[in-house]
Amino acid sequence: MRDVYQMAPGDFAESVGILRDNTLLVHSVWLTDDDIRVIARNKANIAHCPASNSKLASGFCRVPELLEAGVNVCLGTDAATCDNAHDMFDAMRLAALIHKPRLLNPLVVPAETAIEMATINGAKALKKDHLIGSLEVGKKADIITIDTNHPRLVPNVNPVSAVVYSAKGSDVDNVIIDGKWIVENRQILTIDQRAVMEKAKQAIVQLHKRTGVENRSRWATAG
């Protein structure tokens, strides 16, 4: 881009007016120091997708540097093809882990920051932090509860650390959205989960038939 427009990507984005406080930049790997300064100056937001970036070997989003510059960084999972689990707990754990060895600093992206990236920072990026993203009077009642009796969560000395480094999406036993029960005792109340799963199985078979894509594993597998 520098060769074509004679400016860095961040400067170009700023020059055409696409960097604003309601701009959400997804992935944002290979940012330069200048890019980070431009993003911070324009109060744009970053959606960090650590699982996708890791699986595709896309590179590292410089999350600690962005946070240090005052940039609002939230978390994403990207598509099913590059983040198979779609698990925000996995995203938090990876976001809290992968930047530590990159910078050789065990203190960057602590557990508290990872949870903020998954909750209130996402709400800020959507300009909805006055409604969602935290449990406060006047906001929507968006709540999950986690079963802390799972072996990987016992003993639970530090709940914040346990949520980020030990918990999985499957540990969530209740989900309430805007005061409405969506999941209760791990049972989804709003859809027929078995029916959806059967449709998904049928859909992938048909997709493979139409595209001619076959199992790419070097091991022989069934199903």
Q: What is the pTM of this model?
A: 0.92
Spatial separation of the C-alpha atoms in residues 156 and 163, rounded to whole Å: 10
Retrieve residue 138's tokens: 């006047």
pLDDT (0 to 100) of residue 8: 86
Sequence spans of domains, the chain: 1-135
DSSP state of 181: E
**For the sheet containing 45-48, what is the strand order?**
24-26, 45-48, 72-75
Q: How many CB atoms lie within 10 A of CB 124?
A: 18
CATH, domain range 1-135: 3.20.20.140
State the CB neighbour count (10 A cutoff) for residue 119.
20
Q: What is the pLDDT of residue 223?
A: 59
Mean pLDDT of the chain: 94
pLDDT digits (tens, 9 = 90+) for 183-220: 999 999 999 999 999 999 999 899 989 998 876 778 87
pLDDT range class, residue 17, cuts 50, 70, 90: very high
For the stretch 35-94, pLDDT in tens is: 999 999 999 999 999 999 999 999 999 999 999 999 999 999 999 889 999 999 999 999
